[in-house]
A and B are shown apart, each in its own frame.
Chain A
Amino acid sequence: MSNTHSDTVAFVRDTMLPQQEPPSSSVGAVGWMRTNLFSGWFNTVLTIVSLGFIAFILYEILPWLISPTWDGTSLTNCREILAGLGDESGACWGVIRERWQQLMFGFYPSDLYWRPVLAFLLLLVAIAPLLFADYVSPKLIWFSMLYPFLAAWLLWGGAIWAPIFAILGFVVGFVVFRYGSKVILPALALAAGVVAAILWWTAIGPAIEAPLSAAIPIGIESVQSREFGGFMLSITIGVTAIMCSLPIGIVLALGRQSDLLLVKAICVGFIEFIRGVPLITLLFVASVLLNIFLPPGTNFDIILRVMIMVTLFAAAYMAEVIRGGLAALPKGQYEGADSLGLDYWQAQRLIIMPQALKISIPGIVSTFIGVFKDTTLVSIISMFDPIGLSNAIRADTAWNGVYWELFIFIGAVFFVFCFSMSRYSMYLERKLQTGHR
Chain B
Amino acid sequence: MATLSDPPAESFKLSMLIYDTRYRAVTFQIMALIAFLTLIGWLISNTAQNLADLGKEPSFGFLFEPAGYDINQRLVEYNNQDSHLRAAFVGLLNTLLVAFLGCVTATVIGVIVGVLRLSGNWLVARVMTVYVEMFRNVPVLMWIVLAMAILIESLPAPRDFRGDNATASMSVFDSVAVTNRGVYIPEPLFSRSLGDLPVGGAFNISLDLVAFLVVLAGGLFLSGRIRARADAQQEATGVRPTTWYLRLGAVLVPVIAVLIALGFHLGYPELKGFNFQGGTYMRNSLIALWLALSLYTAAFIAEIVRAGILAISKGQTEAAGALGLRPGRIMSLVILPQALRVIIPPLISNYLNLTKNSSLAIAVGYMDLTGTLMGITLNQTGRELETVLLGMLIYLGISLAISALMNWYNSRVKLVER
Contact = CB atoms under 8 A, between A and B. Distances in A.
A201 interface: no
Given A36-B120, A260-B25, A288 B384 contact: yes
A79 B25 CA distance: 73
Sorting the interface of chain B by its residue count into under 10, 10 to 19, 20 to 34 or 35 or more gives 35 or more
B138 A414 contact: yes
A419 B137 contact: yes
A407 B374 contact: no
Given A266-B32, A277-B392, A379 B43 contact: no
A28 interface: no
B336 interface: no
Contacts of B122: 36-37
Nearest to A261: B29
B370 A281 contact: yes
B153 interface: yes
A37 B141 contact: no
B383 to A, nearest CB: 10
Interface centre among B18, B33, B43, B136 (most CB of A within 10 A): B136
A125 interface: no
Contacts of A262: 29, 32-33, 36
Contact of A263 (B18, B32, B359): B32
Interface hub of B43, B51, B356 (most chain A Cβ within 10 A): B356
Contacts of A284: 374, 378, 384, 388, 391
Interface string A401-423: 10100010011001100110010
Interface string A28-53: 00000001110100010011001101
A53 B127 contact: yes
Contacts of B51: 292
Nearest to A185: B18
A271 to B, nearest CB: 12
A291 B50 CA distance: 9
B76 interface: no
B46 A187 contact: no
B385 A47 contact: no
Interface stretch (A80-88, A140-148, A293-301, A350-358): A293-301
A373 to B, nearest CB: 4
A280 B153 contact: no
B333 interface: no
A88 B151 CA distance: 20
Contacts of A35: 120
B142 interface: yes
B359 A278 contact: yes
Interface string A360-383: 000000000100011011011000
Contact of B142 (A185, A289, A407): A407
A79 to B, nearest CB: 14
Contacts of B134: 415
A415 B138 contact: yes
A221 interface: no
Contacts of B324: none
Contacts of A403: 146, 149-150, 153
B256 to A, nearest CB: 34
Contacts of B391: 281, 284
A209 B29 CA distance: 38
A305 interface: no
A260 B32 contact: yes
Nearest to B355: A278
Contacts of A263: 28-29, 32
A278 B370 CA distance: 10
Nearest to A420: B137
Contact of B137 (A36, A273, A369, A374): A369
Interface in B381-412: 384-385, 388, 391-392, 395-396, 399-400
B385 A289 contact: yes
Given A284-B388, A415-B134, A276 B142 contact: no
Given A376-B141, A418-B137, A276 B400 contact: yes
Contact of B121 (A47, A261, A401): A47
A47 B124 contact: yes
Interface string B127-148: 1000001101111111001100
B274 interface: no
B363 interface: yes
A390 B134 CA distance: 20
Nearest to A266: B36
Interface residues of A, number: 59
Nearest to A372: B139
A391 interface: yes
A259 interface: yes
B396 A273 contact: yes
A37 B124 CA distance: 9
A348 B87 CA distance: 51
A51 B46 contact: no
Given A276-B400, A292-B384, A394 B123 contact: no
Given A403-B153, A415-B137, A295 B395 contact: no
Contacts of B127: 50, 53-54
A187 B32 CA distance: 12
B105 interface: no
B399 A277 contact: yes
B57 interface: no
A43 B138 CA distance: 31
B124 A373 contact: no
B173 interface: no
Contacts of A415: 133-134, 137-138
B121, B136, B139: residue with the most chain A Cβ atoms closer than 10 Å: B139
Nearest to A370: B353
Contacts of B145: 387, 390-391, 407
A115 interface: no
Contact of A51 (B43, B123, B399): B123
A49 to B, nearest CB: 8
A43 B32 contact: no
Nearest to B19: A185
Contacts of B206: none
B29 A37 contact: no
Given A277-B399, A281-B392, A288-B388, A387 B142 contact: yes
Given A273-B396, A387-B142, A403-B153, 6 more contacts: A260-B28, A262-B32, A266-B32, A403-B150, A415-B133, A419-B137
14 contacts: A261-B29, A266-B32, A273-B396, A277-B395, A277-B399, A289-B384, A291-B50, A292-B50, A295-B46, A374-B139, A377-B360, A407-B146, A407-B149, A414-B139
Interface of B: 18-19, 25, 28-29, 32-33, 36, 43, 46-47, 49-51, 53, 119-124, 127, 133-134, 136-142, 145-146, 149-150, 153, 356-357, 359-360, 362-363, 370, 374, 378, 384-385, 388, 391-392, 395-396, 399-400
